Amino acid sequence: MLTAIAVLSLVIWIMLLVARGGFWQAHERDDHDPLGTGAPDAWPAVVAVIPARNEAASIAQTVSSLLRQDYPGSVRVVVVDDHSEDGTAALACDAARAMGAAGRLTVLRGEPLPVGWTGKLWAVRQGIDAAHATDPPPAWLLLTDADIEHAPDNLRQLVTRAILDRRVMVSLMAKLRCDAWFERALIPAFVLFFQMLYPFSWVNRRDHPMAAAAGGCMLVQVEALRAAGGIEAIRDEIIDDCALGARMKTQGAIWLGLTNRVRSVRPYDSLGEIHRMVARTAYAQLHYSPWLLCGTIVSLLVTFVAPPLVVLFGSGLARVAGALAWAAMTFAYLPMLRFYGLSRGWGPCLPVVAVLYTAFTLDSALQHWRGRGGMWKGRAQARR
């Protein structure tokens, strides 16, 4: 039995390495730019939309980074204050005034949440409506989060890629903070697992059905978004970024990549904070299916946990196959560790990390069954 499990795990890792779009190589990055130094003939108007709920710790940094863009065209920012209780709106206004850019910022007080919408998407919808009323009206929308800091050239690079490469959506996976011990231990694996689910190279292929996006930074073409049904089409989605990516890909090519230009400033200093981040959406990713949950748990255990256990407790062929599978997963983890500037010594620890993510996924299902699924900023948003 141990031999069969070890061999199965090894076969899985061989297939992941050679037949899963090279997800582990971290090649799809905005600094691996095939577009050279080209630029659009004209720079379209862009409005950035930021939904914000109790984001006093980061909203000023986010707003300032957007108003500081070196973009040659018109850039405006709309913040939708989703009933914050910590002065988020005032801090956003203060940041714009400090830069002498108050005229380019609009702060809205969010309307009451209607039935059938998640809080974030209802705020985004209101922000988009306000964006359409700006002068000049935007040809593109930058949908971003209130804890994201953008490098000064980010918007220019996004628009350049979108226009020259004929993409209706360009999304960057914000580089998550990786300073605290638990962040170093768990965050790079989170990104690796996301890429395993949605290989970026497949997302970026025009002829492949795979679609995804990263909600921290999504540049979307206004006309394509309208043709895709607008934000209303995904109004109750917990994993709204990937749902939007799927909608946008029905209208044209999309692009998703890693970046150093977009950074999340939200700290995940404790195990509990990372647990809550993952558990909020994990069961939604499984379409709230107990059968998919069981299959996922078994798959994670066979793929990640079995190899080191077989090495420790097996013998003969089982131990050899387990060691090769463990080596393969460590090898697959190295490019992501390198991207985050971490030691290769974290590589062999991936099985332990996988055990924790398995527990987070199981807890996500338990929270859903208790009526607390998709908990975010005091709201349970998952479908019942």
What residue ranges do the domains of the chain occupy?
Answer: 1-24+272-374, 46-268
What integer best gives the mean pLDDT of the chain? 94
Which structure tokens are listed for 100? 């002498």
As a whole-number percent, the residues of the chain with pLDDT over 70 amount to: 95
Confidence of residue 120 (pLDDT cuts 50, 70, 90): very high
Confidence of residue 380 (pLDDT cuts 50, 70, 90): low
For the segment 102-125, the average pLDDT, to the nearest whole number, is: 95
pLDDT over 60 (residue 310): yes
Distances (CA, A) of 144 to 23, 176, 272, 314: 24, 14, 25, 49
Of 71-85, 234-248, 363-377, the one with minimum mean pLDDT is: 363-377
pLDDT tens for 204-247 read 999 999 999 999 999 999 999 999 999 999 999 999 999 999 99
CATH fold of 46-268: Spore Coat Polysaccharide Biosynthesis Protein SpsA; Chain A (3.90.550)
Which structure tokens are listed for 111? 């309307």
Q: What's the confidence (pLDDT) of residue 32? A: 74
Determine the Cα–Cα distance for residues 243 and 230; give it in Å rounded to an integer. 12
Q: What's the confidence (pLDDT) of residue 378? A: 57
pLDDT tens for 6-57 read 999 999 999 999 999 999 999 999 987 656 667 888 999 999 999 999 999 9
Of 119-123, 352-356, 368-372, 376-380, the one with minimum mean pLDDT is: 376-380
For the segment 71-83, the average pLDDT, to the nearest whole number, is: 96
Q: What's the confidence (pLDDT) of residue 2? A: 87
- CB-based contact 105:79 (threshold 8 Å): yes
For the segment 199-207, the average pLDDT, to the nearest whole number, is: 98
DSSP for 8-55, please give it: HHHHHHHHHHHHSTTGGG---BTTS-TTTT---SS---EEEEEEESS-
Which structure tokens are listed for 241? 């970024």
Confidence of residue 261 (pLDDT cuts 50, 70, 90): very high
DSSP for 305-368, please give it: IHHHHHHHH--HHHHHHHHHHHHHHHHHHHHHHHHTT--GGGGGGHHHHHHHHHHHHHHHHHHH
Residue 37, phi then psi, degrees to nearest 5: -105, 20
pLDDT tens for 124-170 read 999 999 999 988 899 999 999 999 999 999 999 999 999 999 999 99
Determine the Cα–Cα distance for residues 20 and 217; give it in Å rounded to an integer. 25
Model's pTM, two decimal places? 0.94
pLDDT over 60 (residue 375): no
Q: What's the confidence (pLDDT) of residue 35? A: 63
Q: What's the confidence (pLDDT) of residue 1? A: 82
Q: What's the confidence (pLDDT) of residue 57? A: 95
